């Protein structure tokens, strides 16, 4: 049964690209409405019958997804002008009551497009390597129980641990562009996550050295767009501020140690 004030079908307008460095173009498709459908369902319906609104049969739209429950972060897209996870974005939430409304879907603009809505997010993972986003261990042998943490420490780090490297914060950030080295809120928050881990803190100095350099914390313009679009509501601006304070202490220590 069709929900009240919802159309029997609607139009979805998708920005497409046939490959890297190829020009982009728009195509529109008519999709039948069903209650509680998400954007991934819409794309699956288009893939099952890839015929445009003007009757032209085309290649199915390419996109990336994995878990379908807002955990993997792979299905990030720009939907009706807002970056978000397409698996948790419901069509019902996008309708404003007008039956001629068109839903627009675009790939993220801050990453290279592989094809259509599928982008290459490798830059995020390379930046995690730069700040050594891991807890160091020196063997695979049993090392005994890990260091204890207070409930407050656990609560703070758990909030940051929810990051799924989806890229929403980077898409919304005016400082993060294809042409610069800024690592963005996601990587800075992960640096804090590991710096505050009792074992991860072993590499704290190396992480802060990276974040003191080009593309580090000083490149953040404090637009705070990252917090507004984060699907996991991670306190990104707080994390950036805390890393900034860590950098101040780190810089003072380097100065008195004779390091420039």
pLDDT of res. 226: 97
Q: Give the predicted TM-score (pTM) of the model.
A: 0.90
pLDDT score of 171 more than 80 = yes
Which is it for the CA torsion 50, 111, 102, 17, positive or negative? Answer: negative
Which pLDDT value is given to residue 103?
95
- Name the token pair of 109: 């603009």
pLDDT, tens digit, for every residue of 128-160? Answer: 999 999 988 877 778 788 788 899 999 999 999
pLDDT: which is higher, 149 or 113: 113
Using 50, 70 and 90 to split pLDDT, how confident is the model at 206? very high
Whether pLDDT at 96 is above 80: no
What does the pLDDT read at residue 260? 66
The more confidently predicted of residues 95 and 218 is: 218
Q: % helix / strand / coil in the chain, to the nearest 5?
A: 35, 15, 50
Q: Are strands 9-17 and 102-106 parallel, antiparallel or unpaired?
A: parallel
Return the DSSP state at 138: S
Confidence of residue 69 (pLDDT cuts 50, 70, 90): very high
Confidence (pLDDT) at 99: 58
3-class state of residue 30 by DSSP: strand
Once rounded to an integer, what is the mean pLDDT over residues 56-74?
A: 95
Residue 32's pLDDT is: 94
Position 71 pLDDT exceeds 50:
yes
Q: How confident is the model at residue 4 (pLDDT cuts 50, 70, 90)?
A: low
At 1, the pLDDT band (50, 70, 90 cuts) reads: very low
**Which tokens sit at 180?**
């610069």
Average pLDDT over the chain, rounded to an integer = 92
What pLDDT shows up at residue 117? 98
DSSP reduced 3-state for 91: helix
Q: Which domains does the chain have, with CATH numbers?
A: 9-119 (3.10.20.30), 122-256 (1.10.1060.10)
Distance separating alpha carbons of residues 260 and 250, to the nearest angstrom? 11
Q: Any idea what DSSP says for residue 57?
A: B
Alpha helices in 28-109 (DSSP H): 39-48, 91-94
Please give the average per-residue pLDDT across 100-119, as a whole number.
94
Q: How high is the pLDDT of residue 180?
A: 94
């Amino acid at each position: 049964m069709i929900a009240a004030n919802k159309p029997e079908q609607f139009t979805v307008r998708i920005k497409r690209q046939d490959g890297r460095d190829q020009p982009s173009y728009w195509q529109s498709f008519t999709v039948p409405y069903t209650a509680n459908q998400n954007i991934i369902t819409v794309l699956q319906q288009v893939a099952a019958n890839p015929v445009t609104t003007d009757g032209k049969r085309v290649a199915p739209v390419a996109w990336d997804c994995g878990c379908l429950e807002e955990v993997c972060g792979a299905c990030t897209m720009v939907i009706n002008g807002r970056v978000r996870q397409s698996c948790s974005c419901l069509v019902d939430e996008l309708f404003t009551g007008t039956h001629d409304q068109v839903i627009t879907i675009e790939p993220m603009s801050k990453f290279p497009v592989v094809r259509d809505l599928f982008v290459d997010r490798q830059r995020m993972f390379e930046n995690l390597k730069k700040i050594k986003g891991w807890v160091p261990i020196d063997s695979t042998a049993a090392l005994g129980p890990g260091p204890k943490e207070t409930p407050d420490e656990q609560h703070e780090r758990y909030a940051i641990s929810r990051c799924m490297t989806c890229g929403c914060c980077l898409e919304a950030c005016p400082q993060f562009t294809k042409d610069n080295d800024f690592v963005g809120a996601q990587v800075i928050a992960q640096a804090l996550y590991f710096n505050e881990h009792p074992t991860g803190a072993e590499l704290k100095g190396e992480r802060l050295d990276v974040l003191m350099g080009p593309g580090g914390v000083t490149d953040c313009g404090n637009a705070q767009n990252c917090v507004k679009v984060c699907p996991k509501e991670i306190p990104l601006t707080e994390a950036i501020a805390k890393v900034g304070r860590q950098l101040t202490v780190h810089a003072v220590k380097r100065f008195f140690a004779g390091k420039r």
